Amino acid sequence: AADLPHVSESDPTAKALGYVEDASTTKDPKHKAGANCSNCQFYSGGPTGFGPCQLFPGKAVSAKGWCVSHAAKA
């Protein structure tokens, strides 16, 4: 997974979902404090770096990133 291309914030899907590589930079009111890709159920990477997200097939998102589809891991 480490060699998957990283999702760009300018990618159309990323823009549609409000994806940011650093959750602390989002101004989206839907963002809840502490929420990021590493604690999202769609993320299957490690706690740091980048890893796969089910919403971005074939690409990697940042563990500390975020998007509006964030759903806390069960």
Q: Say if residues 42 and 71 touch (Cβ distance below 8 Å).
A: yes
Residues making contact with ligand SF4 (CB under 6 A): 19, 37, 40, 42-43, 53, 55, 61, 65-67, 69-70
Q: Which residues contact 27 (CB under 8 A, 6 or more apart)?
A: none
Q: Which helix (H) or strand (E) holds 12?
A: helix 12-17
CB of 26 to ligand SF4, least distance (A): 10
CB of 46 to ligand SF4, least distance (A): 12
Residue placing its CB nearer to ligand SF4 in the complex, 4 or 42? 42
Q: Say if residues 22 and 65 touch (Cβ distance below 8 Å).
A: yes
CB of 37 to ligand SF4, least distance (A): 3
